[in-house]
Amino acid sequence: MAGVSLQCGDCGALLKSVEEAQEHAELTSHSNFAESTEPVLNLVCTTCSKPCRSKTESDLHTKRTGHTEFVDKTSETAKSISLEVPKGGSESQEGGTSDQNEELVVPEVDKKLLEELESMGFSTARATRALHFSGNASLEAAVTWIENHENTPDIDEMPLVPAVSKAQASKPSLTPEETNAILKELREKARKKKEEEEKRMEREREKERIRVGKELLEAKRIEEDNERKRLLALRKAEKEEERRAREKIRQKLEEDKAERRRKLGLPAEEPSTVKPSTVVEEKKSFLPIRPATKTEQMRECLRSLKQNHKEDDARVKKAFQTLLTYVGNVARNPNEEKFRKIRLSNAAFQERVGALKGGIEFLEICGFEKIDGGEVLFLPRDKVDIAVLNSAGSELDSAIKNPFFGVL
């Protein structure tokens, strides 16, 4: 089968004629061409009838115009290629008079592209010149040509070509030096753009790092403020409890004193001397008696444990930490029976908790029950109260962190 195209062995491009192969060679310096039976693709836009010679060109046309319908006329336009080099030198050898008498006309360019360039604000002469010298390749190529030749004196002059070469005038060839210069300039622009983008991204990352750092510092400050407030509130509550305890003791002493005087037959003291006790009694009569809450029972149990073993702070702290581990494991894994079951005969448990008065009592307040003849502490699944366990964890955590806990 006769060849219908010429294929560049260096880049694989398909060309319709020897003239196109020569232009391709001038632009790219490729020189390895061979006949091919594969026809040059010819996709014609059904909307504007623009021919596209590759899928890439049709995609660009779709992006630029929004036209999506194309008709494949490759088979209609395919024909055997002639390998004869066109004879264009004889006319030039006849003398310079014929060139001087030759009519000069405006080269034909893609009207659609011309209209788009004009709509972008370019003059007709500049747009025509850009399309002519960029080979009517695409809108992007024409704009690039304008950017590269913006300072050329005749950029706003309408280009003129001989009438006989009007058909070929729309595809001027570039010298290898011009091609290399354009490619070098494009690569330099791409490099600068990449560097600017990297710098911009680095600035954005630095801003993000600063923002995150500020947020972390603010969160840490707020957390420390809340911790200070919590410790102050705990100390205030402990002082209030101590004051109430001292007042109860004083009231009890006053009552005992009055009882002894009564038994001895002595007259009662003057009202002025027992006034504080009376005030306490009056206040007490107005305050409803309520049972101690779980939290209060836990706090009192921990305070008693520390009071009973105040000579060994390290051991008390270790007991508090062990209890915190027990209730924390159950709160996080309420369905795991191994965390809800403690064998009292375990040596580690006895050393850390069991041997200290108040340790087992604290676990019983949390819901643990003695089973198997008092050998095992067990917390049934249906009696697991996460709120109680969390409250126990908070009390233990406060007792561990507060050096004044339980100190009268």
- Helices within 264-293 (DSSP H only): 275-286
pLDDT, the chain, mean: 80
Residue 15 in contact with residue 7, Cβ under 8 Å? Answer: yes
Distance, in Å, from the CA atom of 30 to the CA atom of 7, rounded to the nearest integer, reads: 11
Whether residue 82 has pLDDT greater than 80 = no
Whether residue 91 has pLDDT greater than 50 = no
Between 55 and 102, residue with greater pLDDT: 55
The 10s digit of each residue's pLDDT in 309-335 is 878 888 888 998 999 999 999 999 999
Within 10 Å of residue 58's Cβ, how many Cβ atoms? 20
Whether residue 247 has pLDDT greater than 90 = yes
Mean pLDDT confidence for 78-104: 53
Tokens of residue 52, six digits: 């596209």
Tokens of residue 92, six digits: 């030039």
- Residue 222 — very low, low, confident or very high, per pLDDT cuts 50/70/90? very high
Nearest residue to 254 (alpha-carbon basis) of 235, 233, 281: 281
The greatest distance separating any two alpha carbons of the chain, rounded to the nearest whole angstrom, comes to: 159
Mean pLDDT confidence for 192-202: 92
Q: How many CA atoms lie within 13 A of 178 on its CB side?
A: 11
Whether residue 371 has pLDDT greater than 80 = yes
Between 361 and 90, residue with greater pLDDT: 361
What confidence score (pLDDT) does residue 103 get? 75
Distance, in Å, from the CA atom of 188 to the CA atom of 17, rounded to the nearest integer, reads: 34
- Residue 282 — very low, low, confident or very high, per pLDDT cuts 50/70/90? very low
Residues 254, 260, 263: CA angle, nearest 5 degrees: 145
The 10s digit of each residue's pLDDT in 96-114 is 444 455 678 888 888 888 9
Nearest residue to 25 (alpha-carbon basis) of 85, 67, 78, 109: 85
- Residue 240 — very low, low, confident or very high, per pLDDT cuts 50/70/90? very high
Between 401 and 284, residue with greater pLDDT: 401
What confidence score (pLDDT) does residue 332 get? 92
The 10s digit of each residue's pLDDT in 261-278 is 787 777 776 655 544 544
Nearest residue to 30 (alpha-carbon basis) of 14, 45, 47, 44: 14
Residue 359 in contact with residue 323, Cβ under 8 Å? Answer: yes
Residues 162, 164, 168: CA angle, nearest 5 degrees: 85
Within 10 Å of residue 263's Cβ, how many Cβ atoms? 8
Residue with token string 């791409």? 190
The 10s digit of each residue's pLDDT in 333-358 is 999 988 999 988 898 898 888 888 88
Tokens of residue 351, six digits: 């050393």
Element (H, E) at 300: helix 294-308
C-beta pairs of 295-301 under 8 Å, 24+ apart in sequence: 295/391, 295/395, 297/365, 298/362, 298/365, 298/366, 298/391, 298/392, 298/395, 299/395, 301/358, 301/361, 301/362, 301/365
Which parts of 225-358 are beta strand (E)?
Answer: 341-343
